[in-house]
Structure 1
């Protein structure tokens, strides 16, 4: 299912294609009504929906032109938004706007309505002159719907270019990934585990078939495959890692005698960029990138950076709840089938702050907000996670160069450090 979701998110044409097919079906139905079932249907529907062929042709021609104009304006607006996302936020956030259901749905409605009007005009035949047709009435309804979607799209764009909305959306992306893992744990399909030893007869190295980022893994389908052939699969790479076609992704262990060649590459998706579908840490990275872009000299917007860092604390709390070196996936019989490594909480902390602490070290507001983020994370985390924050204390806190700040700045830093120390004690 995740593979289909990924394909749909990467392909802008997917949803418009569905709307196009629906519009073709609607056109066929309306044409049948106007040509075959006209007498019976005209008595059942309001007469205001029916027009003469000449008037219907004029209306549909006007509607098709208007819809094409709205589509052009919408695409132009999308280009403006993409430029804004790339220059002010981060190139990695472009996909967040383009793959939103609202964006592709609006394009789908416009494309579908345009196809309907053009096809309806094609079937406006001269031999229909002596009767009234429904095609124009349906076209007017579609035009009203398109206007509504156009207004909604303008509202959606105006909200999307607000950095606060982008930050919240990135946080929700990461939380959805963590929630999926929690759901699998509750269903007994996933266990947070450490490496275990087991007996096997033969093992086989598994090589990548492409170069790129590991985007997702169909764990449920792969667990069924492993159960069918009595296998155990141990990944060496994590979701989000970059691999080449020469990389060893993992090993396949045959628990019984090997009977046939097993191809498990179809259960793995490798692409040119990371995706947050199963890679929640990617959302955290994008938040960090937006913060870095905000504190750059060209933009110089530390308040946006501070807002990103605060939202990062919520993601860190969520990742702390599923912290483990390895994820152990089980089959329907609760037998171990897949070992998948994941980033530990210390690694996540490092990747979240290793750039921010360098480029924000001269900004007192950024330093104070990083300490605030650690305080919020510690407040919402368990004792094991607090111990891991404490183990990173030297890297995150003691590296702050207090000598470059004024005495009052140092007082504020010490207050934050004292609060954090109290939580980590």
Structure 2
């Protein structure tokens, strides 16, 4: 997926893409099966088609009508269930997680196969001819009809899978595990265990440069760094990508800076094609958005209307995997080097920013939930133990102090204060 251009990736992420492919496949399959039926001998006793069960003209029409009508009804029911689940997830877990349901390949395949079965039976049904028809000789596509029966049997199994899948997808554990996997994937992309040879870390400070505006408004959803670096080397220029992935840009704001300056307008269109801008953020390359999805689960779970501290604790434990992975690795490179020459510089999300998010966003909601506060203390201890950066270790200690100060300001019960302070000392000793 990451090798695709931004526009193609957006198409593949659409909810309708897989169903559209399935419908197209159904059209091809129907035409191919009918063509094979026309080629096969008409004698039903022929060994070519002895294994095919022939039900006659009226039976074939009735069977295809029943399969097509029932599958369309089942598809409508499955679509209604999906919309209901999306509405429930949006109100309970946050609107940004709705896209995870929309992008779920399981839901897309089920709806696509059910609808394509209806299209298949409709196309096969129109080819059946009886002796009373004036248009052609009597014809029954026996192979195509029996394929429709097999598709109907497969659809029944698919409906059973869909019921299980949709029930499993709304469980909190499934949601948390899904966003954790996306967070780990994007952490591995931007914070690899070993920095590639073509990447180095440099400080900013180049002056000037020909500014190249974005031209449109939107979020930077993805960047093709390989293509961008190769293009800069081919054109013998140095390019700086101004916004980071996930930043919001306006049409007049700079998207690139190019050295030498006079080459900016010349390379404008080809440079813009390496960056995808969208109306909303995507967790594919956006570290902050991927982490925010996990953190938002915890924040919403602590809202008065939900009041589910167990989900918040679960989310904190899951986000730890991504943060620990980031702080235990060297700082990522931000400059692409081609043949020993710096060609591309871009901004990265620092480990300090990754560490800050759960404490800054969840911390203010933990004063009434001791269990969640203790989970944040455990998170700080995990980060401090895994980090290879002294600044991060000092950072998490400051976060723990802030949590304690905020907790004491609420005048909690002395027993809770003692419990929290003992837990902090215990984790600090570890």
TM-score under structure 2 normalisation?
0.88
> Can you list the C-alpha shifts for 1:256-306, whole angstroms capped at 9, x where unaligned?
x84970021111111111100001221211111111111111111111111
Q: CA separation of 1:407/1:197 partners in 2, compared to 1, >3 Å: closer, same or farther?
A: closer
Task: Give the one of 312, 334, 341 matched to 1:327.
Answer: 334
Displacement of 1:194 after TM fit?
3.0
> Can you list the C-alpha shifts for 1:103-154, whole angstroms capped at 9, x where unaligned?
1111221122121111111222334536662121010111112111111111
1:26 aligns with 2:29: yes
Tell me the distance in 2 between the aligned counterparts of 1:184 and 1:302. 33
Displacement of 1:4 after TM fit?
5.8
* Cross-structure match for 1:177: 186
Displacement of 1:244 after TM fit?
1.1
Task: Give the one of 108, 112, 119 matched to 2:123.
Answer: 119
> Can you list the C-alpha shifts for 1:344-394, whole angstroms capped at 9, x where unaligned?
222222222222111222221221111122222333333544344345554
Task: Give the one of 251, 254, 269 matched to 2:257.
Answer: 251
1:101-112 paired onto structure 2 within 5 Å: 101-112=105-116
Task: Give the one of 149, 156, 160 matched to 1:151.
Answer: 160
* Cross-structure match for 2:95: 91
Tell me the distance in 1 between the aligned counterparts of 2:139 and 2:221. 60
Q: Is the 8 A contact 1:52 1:132 kept in 2?
A: no
> Can you list the C-alpha shifts for 1:313-347, whole angstroms capped at 9, x where unaligned?
1111123245648622344x464322111222222
* Cross-structure match for 1:315: 322
Tell me the distance in 2 between the aligned counterparts of 1:130 and 1:208. 60
Tell me the distance in 1 between the aligned counterparts of 2:48 and 2:197. 55
Paired residue secondary structure (1:314): helix
> Can you list the C-alpha shifts for 1:36-74, whole angstroms capped at 9, x where unaligned?
234599634552344423211111111111110111111
TM-score under structure 1 normalisation?
0.89
Q: CA separation of 1:147/1:386 partners in 2, compared to 1, >3 Å: closer, same or farther?
A: same
User: How many residues in Structure 1 have an aligned counterpart in Structure 2?
Assistant: 418
Q: Is the 8 A contact 2:408 2:417 kept in 1?
A: no
Paired residue secondary structure (2:303): coil
Unaligned runs of 5+ in 1: none
Displacement of 1:395 after TM fit?
4.1
Tell me the distance in 1 between the aligned counterparts of 2:116 and 2:29. 10
Task: Give the one of 152, 170, 194 matched to 2:202.
Answer: 194
Q: CA separation of 1:36/1:323 partners in 2, compared to 1, >3 Å: closer, same or farther?
A: same
1:294-309 paired onto structure 2 within 5 Å: 294-309=301-316
Tell me the distance in 2 between the aligned counterparts of 1:45 and 1:190. 63
Tell me the distance in 1 between the aligned counterparts of 2:337 and 2:409. 50
Task: Give the one of 369, 380, 394 matched to 1:374.
Answer: 380
Paired residue secondary structure (1:329): strand
